[in-house]
């Protein structure tokens, strides 16, 4: 199995609300591959898809019942502590709930978390020990 992630799909309870949050709130441009029933964003070689949660569970042939912590978080790494503050502020203005205010963290960086309309958690982080390539992808040693 190649070591590759292609798409992360968020099962959402209101597709229009979620599209509005990511497109108008965070300012992301949907891919033209988007349809009425599914929205795609190109997050730099990996896709983010928004798809109704009931249909997603059905597609995976599992029950759609869910409660509490999804168990999965998404991280958006930036290049300075100031950029963390700006992004967290932008997300809050877009209606996100800030679950953890941006702060210095034990591993030596600076980060905060916001929850999207369905409670999916994004960490916005500056890690002084990590480098980016020319396409802003993290370089993993």
x/- site string to its own copies, residues 17 to 46, per CB under 8 A? ---------xxxx-xxx------xxxxxxx
**133 makes contact with its own copies (CB under 8 A):** yes
Identify which of 15, 54, 18 has the alpha carbon closest to the alpha carbon of residue 36.
Answer: 15
Spatial contact of 121 and 114, defined as CB atoms under 8 Å apart: yes
Spatial contact of 59 and 53, defined as CB atoms under 8 Å apart: no
Our CB check for its own copies shows the closer of 19 and 53 to be: 53
Distance (Å, rounded) from C-alpha 113 to C-alpha 106?
15
**82 makes contact with its own copies (CB under 8 A):** no
Give the one residue of 16, 73, 128, 131 binding its own copies; rule: CB under 8 A. 73
Q: How many binding residues for its own copies (CB under 8 A)?
A: 70
């Amino acid at each position: 199995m190649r070591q590759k992630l292609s798409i992360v799909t968020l099962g959402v309870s209101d597709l229009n609300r979620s599209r509005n949050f990511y497109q108008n709130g965070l300012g992301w441009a949907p891919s033209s591959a988007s349809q009425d029933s599914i929205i795609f964003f190109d997050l730099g070689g990996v896709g983010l898809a928004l798809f109704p949660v009931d249909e997603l569970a059905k597609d995976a042939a599992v029950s759609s019942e869910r409660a509490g912590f999804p168990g999965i978080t998404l991280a958006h790494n930036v290049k300075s502590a100031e950029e963390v503050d700006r992004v967290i502020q932008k997300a809050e203005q877009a209606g996100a709930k800030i679950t953890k205010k941006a702060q210095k963290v034990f591993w030596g960086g600076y980060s905060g978390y916001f929850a999207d309309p369905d409670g999916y958690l994004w960490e916005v982080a500056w890690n002084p020990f990590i480098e980016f390539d020319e396409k802003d992808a993290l370089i993993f040693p």
